[in-house]
Structure 1
Amino acid sequence: MNAMNVMTVDGFTAKIEYDADLDLFRGEILGLNGGADFYGKNPRELRAEFRRSLSVFLEVCREKGIEPRRNYSGKFNLRIPPDLHERLAIVAQAEGKSINALAQEALQQRIAAP
């Protein structure tokens, strides 16, 4: 994700896009057990609407006994071409690591990049 299109409030992250039809910025809060979006004309208004939308979403979750954040198991399947799989296995073996450890390092570098 590009730092130019995200906003974070109270540990929650939203993806921000421009809606040309409405001539407004639209935010979508990510990683929730449901949907929550908000609109604003400028960053200050957008942040205020983010807080308001998040507050409403969290209140509804409390009332219904729902966990607000989506649960992630830490496991996912990744399909890659066989030649890439072979090269990863060789690099991992040469470094004395598992393919999983090598993949974790690569993914961590990607999400930590500015």
Structure 2
Amino acid sequence: MSELLKYKGYHGSVEYGLESKMLFGKVQFISQDIKYTGKTVNELIGAFEQAVDGYLQMCADTGVEPLVPASGMFNVRIDKALHRQIQIYAMEKGVTMNAAVERLLAQAIKTNA
């Protein structure tokens, strides 16, 4: 199981380079390529937080809206039969398909947490 660093709504990976004997990571879930390194876990955490702060400052300085880790939208291709089952589920529950999928995903995440 891998762990993610968390700071100001952003998440970062934690990896280890055998040759360099360095910890490194990348801010996850955004298209901007933001990387950081450290020799210790505390250094890596500090570098991650500095990278996020630097990114947010750069956005503020240039008037660019920072990328957010999750927009709330994603496309998923599923089997036609499953699609139909979700349509029926949504109709039976009196909700939209989006609301039905959100409810089902939330239940699955809670069950598997």
The two structures have a TM-score, normalised by structure 2, of 0.73
For residues 86-113 of structure 1, give each alpha carbon's deviation from its aligned partner in whole angstroms, at most 9, with x where no partner exists: 2222222333333221111133345566
What RMSD, in angstroms, separates the aligned Cα atoms of the two structures? Answer: 2.7
The one of 17, 20, 26 equivalent to 1:19 is 17
- Aligned residue number for residue 80 of structure 1: 78
Amino acid at match of 1:46: L
For residues 43-69 of structure 1, give each alpha carbon's deviation from its aligned partner in whole angstroms, at most 9, with x where no partner exists: 211111112222222222222221222
**Residue 72 of structure 1: CA displacement?**
6.1
Q: Is the 8 A contact 2:36 2:51 kept in 1?
A: yes
Q: Is the 8 A contact 1:31 1:69 kept in 2?
A: no
**Residue 18 of structure 1: CA displacement?**
2.8
- Aligned residue number for residue 5 of structure 1: 3
Amino acid at match of 1:84: L
The two structures have a TM-score, normalised by structure 1, of 0.73
Gaps of 5+ in 2: none
- 3-state DSSP of counterpart to 1:5: coil
1:39-54 correspondence runs (5 A): 39-54=37-52
Q: CA distance change for structure 1 residues 46 and 108 in 2, over 3 Å: closer, same or farther? A: same
- 3-state DSSP of counterpart to 2:78: coil
- Aligned residue number for residue 67 of structure 1: 65
- Aligned residue number for residue 103 of structure 1: 101
Identity score, percent: 27
